[in-house]
Amino acid sequence: METALTFRDATDADVDALVALIESAYRGDDSRSGWTTEADILEGQRTDPEGVLEVIKSPDSRLLTVERDGRVVACCQLEHRGAHAYFGMFAVSPVLQGAGLGKVIIAEAERIARETWGVTQMHMTVISVRDDLIAWYERRGYRRTGKMTPFPYGDERFGIPQRDDLQFELLVKELS
């Protein structure tokens, strides 16, 4: 039987577990067992303890931590930005990807943002070459806007790009 997921706000004590989760979902060989890997387009780190702590400490932000059987299995950042919320730092343990967990988590994140801040839209940015990932978000009601922001080339806190055409596209969903 499936054990229930527990949602809570991250604390300082979660930083190491969250960094390990995010790295495992996006970088290196472990990430290749899931489908959200960025290992082919970016090397190096996806985040670091400072970056995770910054989200936890920010007054307009919360790092939603998802546990199953007392183990951290997923997380996502929610940030209040006026009439909309920003959704980021989304990671699901690679061994649990493809089982419908992401759908449940994003729906809960949208509900929390709507109820906590009264926002009418959720925004996120996705690396524009990640067609499979963008298609997944489109199936959840997000739409591509065509609005691009440059990838921070030269800032290794975000990874070491393996190609020169990376940029972020803004995706938006109306929250009813």
Q: Region 96-107: what's the mean pLDDT?
A: 90
Is residue 139 within 8 A of residue 95, CB to CB? The reply is: no
Q: State the chain's mean pLDDT as an integer.
A: 86
> What pLDDT is recorded for position 32?
54
Angle at 153 between CA 130 and CA 44, to 5 degrees: 70
| Token representation of residue 47 | 């985040």
Q: Region 22-50: what's the mean pLDDT?
A: 63
pLDDT tens-digit profile of 63-95? 999 999 999 999 999 999 999 999 998 999 988
pLDDT tens-digit profile of 120-139? 999 999 988 888 889 999 99
pLDDT higher than 80, residue 5: yes
User: What CATH number should be reported for the domain holding residue 85?
Assistant: 3.40.630.30
pLDDT higher than 80, residue 169: yes
> What pLDDT is recorded for position 44?
55
> What pLDDT is recorded for position 23?
79
| Token representation of residue 122 | 């959720």
Question: Given pLDDT bands bounded at 50, 70 and 90, which one contains residue 1?
Answer: very low
Number of structural domains in the chain: 1
pLDDT above 70 coverage of the chain, percent: 84
pLDDT higher than 60, residue 31: no
pLDDT higher than 70, residue 6: yes
By residue range, what is the domain housing residue 73? 5-174
Q: Region 107-121: what's the mean pLDDT?
A: 96
Ranges of beta strands (E only) in the chain are: 5-9, 42-43, 61-68, 71-81, 84-92, 121-127, 143-150, 160-161, 167-174
| Pairing assessment for the beta strands 61-68 and 5-9 based on DSSP bridges | antiparallel
